[in-house]
Structure 1
Amino acid sequence: MSTRGRGRAGYVPRPHAPTPHASTKSVRSSTQSTPGPHASIKSVRSSILHSFTSESVHEVTSQVSHSDTSSTHCNTDGTSKGKRGLWEVTKPQIGQAKKSRGAIAYSDLQFAPQNVPSWTDISEEDKETLVAYLQEGFKFTNEPYAIGFILNLMHDRYKSYRHDLRQRFRSFPTMESALANPPENMEKETWKFLCEKWSDKDYKVRCGKNKLNREKLKVLHTAGSKAFRKVQYDEGDRATGEELGLVELYKKTHFSEKKEAWVHADAEIRHYKLEKRQEKAIEEGSCPISDEQLSIEVFGQKVGYIRGLGRCRKPSTTLSGKLTRAQLERDNEAATREAEEQRRINEELVGRIQILESDHTEYNAKVDFLMQQISQRVPSTDSSS
């Protein structure tokens, strides 16, 4: 038997067309009436899908495009949604977007394994199951950029839920009292795993180091609770769809227009380095340097994060992701060949122009010589008279 979908009751989504999705309220009510951990797959599925029966199918079509492997931007309603940068998965209506966020939060709470250290430790197979569950109530493209965007939202919800669980754990005075009071609809073994994780000495030491590192942060920014990607989209040209490059975005998020000053001296230095590296790439006449490559060369590389832009997706290990990267590599090779061919043609044209100029000079010299010969042979009017 397949181990896919090791969430509650081993739920495996049905491979059929999406069904209408209910309101956030009905999702919440269905969460409260979830079958126990030992319920059958059939009973879990029927109780969950009962909430997907009241409204029209919600189109979740992310307007995300990629100029490189890291670019992730999508249309929003133009507002910031809290400290986690809750971008709308859909373009128009806030009410519908709340349904999608509620469903994502519900799928995380209901089926995402909690007996793992963190979201990154959840298997790709289990994450595919979470996405497949979401596809039962929503319609969205299976393109890698859309799946990656949804997984990022799930990651945020998972961390938020894990934070709430930890706050619950810290509310108890002793380990024994915490173990005796697991959250509703969570198995005791899973709750025990989390409690032991939060009580582990190494975990506490790591948390302490992370806290100190955050306190040492020098360069702040002016974006507030808004994600850099959101700023990049909002400040772009809506008519052409062109967004801010990393150089312009870094200044937008690290220069205070109110104070007319950089948030930190290091920020101005970093912006200067970005400008110089970009100018160098232009002077060399090479292909335009991507924001990701520019960030890596100036700020250094950080796994899962692009400095100046924010979090990026991990390289996909799925077939579609491999095909996409292969296509990008082929396109890059084709563009390189085309650029080389154009350079060769330009050099050939320059050579021809030089030959023509040389011929033209030689022709003018011959004309001048002939004119001199003619003038010497023709007697002047004064001498004939």
Structure 2
Amino acid sequence: MGKIPLVIQDGHRGPSCENASIFTGRLTGIIKVHADMRHASWSYVPNEEKQELVDRVRADFVLDWTRDNHREMVERHLGDKYNAYHYALHKVYLKYASHEEALRGGTDMVEKAVWEKLCERWASLTFKRETAPNMVEFYKETHWSTRKGKFINAASEHNYNLMVERLGEKESEEDVEEAADTIFKEVLGQKSGYAVGMGHMVIPDPSPSTKKSRAFIRLSEENDRNKSDAEMYKSKLDKMMGDIEALKKNFSEHEKFLLNYRMTEIEGGTESHRETHQDA
């Protein structure tokens, strides 16, 4: 059997033909069988290992390697499949009641030595710190189908994997939650009132861990200052409005006094004129 043909439109990074499902299925198989899953994510896989996986894909499909979008398509899909398989392995680990049980129980998805290496990483404080609740994990939760056991679509999967890779490239001493928020905005972009890809949803209350981040504390302090300023200006405005009301009241009373005075004068003048006319 020869290579499988693919139709890839100019500028696209995915096949648009009847063999598209064969392409994605084959890449999943290549990752499961040939990829070294001990790396934290696709971005940590050495170039020589990536090239070996790419060569396997090129051996199975008709591709024009002179085209940028063909090369990018293969590398992007391999990265997505690698990170997705990594995520599936971690889900297996989380099903165990303890780290020790996970080591004993293992899985047939990878070799024992690979599983032990992964378990060691997942149990580390560094990994737990990196995966603390943040906007990247929130994106995954809102774009993951529990029923299907996968992301709701390929775009969501790619966006999440891209955010995870960029987060993994950050320096270890950086504030993870703050870095995750920045990466979230870089990957998805942001419009007024909502983040692209998250819909017009109600903004959730920040998690306890988020509340401890430097960014949250800074914004909270700024918000408190703004509230204090607003209360001060409101107090000044209330006093000003009270003064205006007092002036209006005084002015109204003064107008009444003048009106009564004028009416008295007019009535006095009329009476005097009547008396003079009668005398004449």
Aligning the two structures, in what range does the TM-score lie when normalised by the shorter sequence?
Answer: 0.3 to 0.5
Q: TM-score normalized by structure 2?
A: 0.48
Structure showing greater Rg: 2
Q: TM-score normalized by structure 1?
A: 0.36
Q: Which has the higher helix share?
A: 2
